[in-house]
Amino acid sequence: MEWVILAIVVVLVIVAIVTYNGLIRSRNQIENAWSQIDVQLKRRIDLIPNLVETVKGYAAHEKDTLDAVINARNAAMSAPTDPHSQAAADNQVAGALRQLFALSEAYPDLKANQNFLALQEELSATEGRVAYARQFYNDSVLNYNNKIQAFPTVIFASMLKFEKREYFEADEAAREVPKIGF
């Protein structure tokens, strides 16, 4: 009888350890995924000053559009690091970039500028990486949230204060990659 009790205790301890380690792995995967989003958003923010300077030479009188891009960049740089705030800042930057790229249509010399074309290409590639990083983050959050809400993990998760995470959600306008015309 003692062996049966000991076996049950050992099995329960093993289940607790495996469950806890699974929760930790899922939480760490979310942190990693978030850092990937952060890296790509910062990469995009770092490209904006060069893009603005290039456009200034051709469209200096389009000050409102250039100011909107700069203000969006500054807001993104100072935004809190939670998914909701970062998504709002990301939406603002995406909207400002769309305006800037639309503006470029009116300036054929700008559209032909090699620096501008290279920056457009780089921003377009970065937008793709941001989208992929968002998807990876949201998939990680889904996995984690499912895990902490499913039985028997929900028992350990609530005892150990593992909390539900929020998704990185962009508004409808920001879901489109900026249109780049050549």
DSSP assignment string, 35-99: HHHHHHHHHHHHHHHHHHHHHHHH-TT-HHHHHHHHHHHHHHHHS-SSHHHHHHHHHHHHHHHHH
Q: Largest alpha-carbon pair distance within the chain?
A: 88
The residue ranges of the chain whose pLDDT is under 50 are: 174-175, 178, 180-182
Our count of domains for the chain comes to 1
The verdict on residue 181 lying in a domain is no
Question: 116 φ, ψ to 5°?
Answer: -65, -45
Please give the pLDDT value at position 172: 57
Classified as helix, coil or strand, 153 is helix
Please give the pLDDT value at position 182: 38
The verdict on residue 180 lying in a domain is no
Which tokens go with 98? 């769309």
The verdict on residue 50 lying in a domain is yes
The residue with tokens 């005892």 is 159
The verdict on residue 182 lying in a domain is no
Please give the pLDDT value at position 181: 46
Omega of the bond prior to 152 within 30 degrees of 0, cis?
Answer: yes
CATH, residue 36: 1.20.1440.20
Which tokens go with 35? 């850092």
Find the domain containing 110 and state its range.
2-175
Going by C-alpha positions, the residue among 100, 82, 115 that lies closest to residue 178 is: 100
Side chain identity at residue 22, one-letter code: G
Please give the pLDDT value at position 142: 97
Q: How far is CA 24 from the centre of its chain?
A: 21
Side chain identity at residue 150, one-letter code: A
Please give the pLDDT value at position 171: 61
